[in-house]
Amino acid sequence: MISGAFFLFGNMLSKNEVLGNLDPGRLKSMQAYADDMAIIYADLEEELECEPFFLETQENVESLNKKAEEISGYVLIRKEGEIYYAGNETAAKIIFERLPENGEMVSISKSGYYFSDLQKYVQQKDFLFSDGKNGSVFIIAKIDGLISKNLLVDMALSIILILLVTSLFLTKWIHSSVFTPIRELNLAMANIAEGNLDYIINTNTKGEIGSLYKNYDDMRVRLKSSTEDKLDSDNQNRELISNISHDLKTPITAIKGYMEGIIDGVADTPEKVDKYIRTVYNKANDMDRLIDELTLYSGINANRIPYNFHRIRVKDYFNDCVEELGLDLEQRKIILNYINLVEPDTTIIADPEQLKRVINNIVGNSVKYLDKEQGIIEIRVLSIGDSIRIEIEDNGKGIPTKDLSNIFERFYRTDASRNSSKGGSGIGLSIVKKIIEDHGGYIWATSKEDEGTCLHFVIRKYKEVEQDE
């Protein structure tokens, strides 16, 4: 019985030169091939022990060759230096001259040879023919094709198992990483389509899917904000229309009543007729003011308030404004106090018409909420450093502290009831704030309930740039 492993190089060493050391990896791989060949070799030894002339029968030789073919090999039988039988004649002629002589194998190797240039692994068994001549049988296998059927089956099963495990892993990964997120996003989009903009996807997923979730949430937040802004805008527009309609109806009703009084002769004296006509005129002015507010409001929404800035002398400008206001307030039996403490040459850059609108809106708002028997409005123009400050104070009912910070918001009214006799569109002070801010200034209010309210606004003075001579 041949055991162990021994190899001989073909092209680097002669057939009598032995390779003493091989690396463990190569030795291990060749041992696997030798195991299959050892089985055939062991069977051959048993046959030769039982029947010494076993290899002289053609049928036996062909049977042995078939076994060798199963491991990608063939059988070669030599008799007195000549080929007696070759399972593969072409391959046998190439290797025949390099095969060891009779008895030589025992002295250099007990298991076999490896010809590295031919990649052939060879096992040899010497015997005697019936006529007494020396013979040798060689089992020759190509090492790169020496794979047993069991090994092929094992390899196939291993590959199938690996493919199954890999496919299961990939299926689970794709399901959890792709299909599940897509299903969640689909559900989220369905909620958005139904108008549920509060549907949130709670996830800590990273990578592309995480970015997709983040983009969805950004879209949801923006869509929700846009929808809420649109709803607020629609509500404000409806409220504006309702307020304007209510406030227009009041002067129109008064105008109709006074005109009917004149037509029917109720105003039977020149004094009454004059009074009725002045009232009609004042009511028409109120209507004109409301229409102007509505026009200006549409300009604010589109950020298209028309401005025509000029350099204005503060003292002269406010003197003219107060003189004009005084005539109207005098008719309403309201006392107007005016203080102007700025220097005569103090100037500002402003739009005269829009600044006048600011003063009229503030004064008009004060008149609307005067609740004392004797109404008083005081206008103060003060010089504060490089700015001027205008204070418009009344002795009305005042504004609750909780409402003070909201009075410049659009449509905000401290008296929310539409049955209020005060009326008002609710946009007057928001327009005032917008105009002052567009002039580079700022505005605020102070108030005490039952004592009155004071609105303050500041505009920077104009200073000419000094040029070098």
Residue 351 confidence (pLDDT): 93
Residue 424 confidence (pLDDT): 52
Based on the fold, state whether residues 160 and 124 are members of the same structural domain.
Answer: no
Domain range enclosing 165:
154-233
**53 CB burial (10 A radius; 0-12, 13-18, 19+):** middle
Q: What single string gives the DSSP state of each residue in 234-277?
A: HHHHHHHHHHHHHHHHHHHHHHHHHHHHHHTT-S-SHHHHHHHH
Domain endpoint, select from 233, 256, 275:
233
What's the domain count of the chain?
A: 3
pLDDT at position 417 over 70: no
pTM: 0.47
Is 191 part of any domain? Answer: yes
With cut-offs at 50, 70 and 90, classify the pLDDT of residue 145: very low
Domain endpoint, select from 147, 179, 202:
147
Q: Which residues contact residue 63 at a Cβ distance below 8 angstroms, ignoring those fewer than 6 apart?
A: none
Q: Are strands 120-128 and 134-142 parallel, antiparallel or unpaired?
A: antiparallel
d(CA 173, CA 181): 12
Is 66 part of any domain? Answer: yes
Is 280 part of any domain? Answer: no
Distances (CA, A) of 345 to 315, 337, 413, 464: 8, 23, 39, 12
Is 448 part of any domain? Answer: yes
Phi-psi domain of 157 (left: phi exceeds 0; alpha: psi -120 through 50; beta: other): alpha
53-92 confidence digits (pLDDT tens): 999 999 999 999 999 888 888 999 999 989 999 999 999 9
Give the mean pLDDT of the chain.
80
Strand, coil or helix: 439: coil
Based on the fold, state whether residues 79 and 159 are members of the same structural domain.
Answer: no
210-261 confidence digits (pLDDT tens): 787 788 788 888 888 888 888 877 776 776 677 667 667 778 888 888 888 8
Based on the fold, state whether residues 444 and 311 are members of the same structural domain.
Answer: yes
Is 391 part of any domain? Answer: yes
Domain endpoint, select from 189, 214, 233:
233
Which CATH number belongs to the domain containing residue 140 in this structure?
Answer: 3.30.450
Based on the fold, state whether residues 331 and 468 are members of the same structural domain.
Answer: yes
pLDDT at position 2 over 70: no
Based on the fold, state whether residues 330 and 431 are members of the same structural domain.
Answer: yes
